[in-house]
Structure 1
Amino acid sequence: TSQVLENTPILTRPDYPDPFSSTPISHIHTQTNPLHIIKQHDDLWLRMKDEAISDVTNEPILKNYYFSLILSHNVIETALAAHLSIKLGTLSLSSDTLYDLFVSVLKDDQDIVAAVKHDLWAVKERDPACVSYVQCFLNFKGFLAVQAHRIAHKLWSQDRKILAVIIQNRVSEVFALDIHPGARIGYGILFDHATGLVIGETAFGFPLFQTIFSFLFMLLVIKMLNRSRTNRSPLNLPPGPRKLPLIGNIIDVHFRIILWGTWQRNMDR
């Protein structure tokens, strides 16, 4: 815990006389190269299956549960598709239908699969409550919601917007957080409790390692607002007002934090 706190960046916002005045977000720098931390682990799924076998050994009653969701799958794509389809399926939109859809998206876009593995690492590495990769995969609703969003975003980008919005709605109903399918987020995401989290379409994540830690704790509401009307942007985004602040690389946002206006990371502390 102390190491996490030591590495936590300090977020500051200038004390402007006008509460709705702000300056553009500063250019984000990172002192750690994420690629030195994360490698593409081809054996991650094998490790998760070993963790599942260990869990079944300790709790034999979970044998069928782990077999259907973990041990019967050769790759993480089909396991994730099965798990999400069971969670999000309805009487009118069956789990089988969703499974076929999710598998096709995941197998067609290996960038999503890579993001899933990075997210697993982020949760296991940064959340002290996470005891194993397989526990995160099966039980952490913040993680599952992000992966469902990745699929919905892919559909949205393919102009299959109606289907993407339906998935968004089911994620909101099942996991109690709402991420617009048009929102773009990066790799290495950690939404801890996540209950009540809302991310709009205009949210932009950096390509790698945007880590959001404990947006919500004990149902505390987190607000992410930006009243800036500046046309300047470090990401070369379209000019005009942005509804949400930009969140940089390897950023931990802890519970009870409210981001209001354009903020920057204080590199002097």
Structure 2
Amino acid sequence: MAKAAIKASDSLWQEIRGEAERAVSADPVFGKAVADAVLAHDDFAAVLADLIGRRLGQDAAARARFAAFSRAAFHGQPGLIEIAGCDLQAIGRSDPAIAGLLPPLLHFKGYVALQAWRVSNWLWRHDHRDAALLFQNEASNLLQVSIHPAAQIGSSVYLDHATGIVIGANVMIGDEVTILQNVSIGRSSDLPARSPRIGRGVYIGAGATILGDIGIGAFAKIGAGTVVTSNVPGGCTAVGNPARLTNCPEPATAA
């Protein structure tokens, strides 16, 4: 599995490097920044570690510290690089406004916030909890994305616009989920205090709130501004406050 992940990330790295080389040739002024951010590095992991350091560190020492933590996570779990590649490719598939992988890599703060969370989650699971919470705090302060290190998030996830996103401890998010701005997902005030479980392929619109011990089924859609405090069956659309279900497949409607 690790060898397959390395092979896939190598292929992605060659694609990104090719885009960077073309950008340098086309625009020497912008090309200097691209060369420093991409072409100065040997592989995709090094680019990501440097990118996280640049976005979270407010001075040279902090940038080096965040980059070092990121390199440790990528070395300790090479599969994180494969997942980071899947996240990047998910943006390319989902966003019609971009062409190529270089723009979201360098300029989409949701992407770097998600990769910073992946490092924080690795730190949390390896009992470096103060460092993990530091990642969360700086991502919240500088990128406006706060994801608790104890959350669980799958691959090919897209944080679109990525301002005001809050994801609490123990939230579970599946693969291929898209989350827009100003979304909150976490525990309710009811006891026992448990967190939502978001299935594969779910789309969560801007300003939605999802709270409590509930499940959102695969490929469900949560409309903008919707407040969800009960289960949403797979394939359904939830809209309004409180949420009501619409466009459900026949079995879900019957259930």
Instruction: Using structure 2 for the length normalisation, give the TM-score.
Output: 0.76
Counterpart contact for 2:20–2:38, Cα < 8 Å: yes
- What one-letter code is carried by the residue in structure 1 that aligns with 2:199? G
1:64 and 2:32 correspond: yes
Match of 1:145 among 113, 121, 128: 113
1:211 and 2:180 correspond: no
- What one-letter code is carried by the residue in structure 2 that aligns with 1:249? R
Counterpart contact for 1:175–1:195, Cα < 8 Å: yes
Aligned residues with identical type, % of pairs: 25
Cα distance in 2, alignment partners of residues 226 and 94 from structure 1:
32
Cα distance in 1, alignment partners of residues 121 and 82 from structure 2:
15
The aligned runs of 1:72-83 (5 Å cut-off) are: 72-83=40-51
Match of 2:92 among 121, 124, 136: 124
Match of 2:183 among 207, 216, 222: 222
Counterpart contact for 1:88–1:174, Cα < 8 Å: yes
Pick closer, same or farther for the CA change 1:258–1:248 going to 2, 3 Å: same
Q: Secondary structure at the match of 2:48?
A: helix
TM-superposed CA distance for 1:242, in Å, is 2.1
TM-superposed CA distance for 1:117, in Å, is 0.6
Partner of 1:201: 169
Q: For structure 1, list consecutive stretches of 5 or more residues without a partner in the other structure.
A: 1-38, 231-239
Partner of 1:234: none
1:253 and 2:204 correspond: yes
1:136 and 2:88 correspond: no
- What one-letter code is carried by the residue in structure 2 that aligns with 1:125? R
Partner of 1:159: 127
Partner of 2:80: 112
Cα distance in 1, alignment partners of residues 148 and 37 from structure 2:
27
The size of the alignment, in residue pairs, is: 214
TM-superposed CA distance for 1:56, in Å, is 1.8
1:265 and 2:245 correspond: no
Counterpart contact for 1:226–1:260, Cα < 8 Å: no
- What one-letter code is carried by the residue in structure 2 that aligns with 1:246? R
Counterpart contact for 1:225–1:259, Cα < 8 Å: no
- What one-letter code is carried by the residue in structure 1 that aligns with 2:56? L
Counterpart contact for 1:223–1:260, Cα < 8 Å: no
- Bigger helix fraction: 2
- Bigger strand fraction: 2
TM-superposed CA distance for 1:250, in Å, is 1.7
Partner of 2:194: 242
Partner of 1:12: none
Q: Secondary structure at the match of 2:234?
A: strand
Cα distance in 1, alignment partners of residues 184 and 53 from structure 2:
30
User: What whole-Å deviation, never above 9, does each CA across 1:132-174 have from its counterpart, x for those lacking one?
Assistant: 2111110000111000000001001111111111111111111
Counterpart contact for 2:56–2:142, Cα < 8 Å: yes
Pick closer, same or farther for the CA change 1:176–1:223 going to 2, 3 Å: closer
1:85 and 2:58 correspond: no
Counterpart contact for 2:151–2:172, Cα < 8 Å: yes
TM-superposed CA distance for 1:254, in Å, is 3.1
- Off by >4 Å, runs of 4+ in structure 1: 225-230
TM-superposed CA distance for 1:120, in Å, is 0.6
Pick closer, same or farther for the CA change 1:185–1:225 going to 2, 3 Å: closer
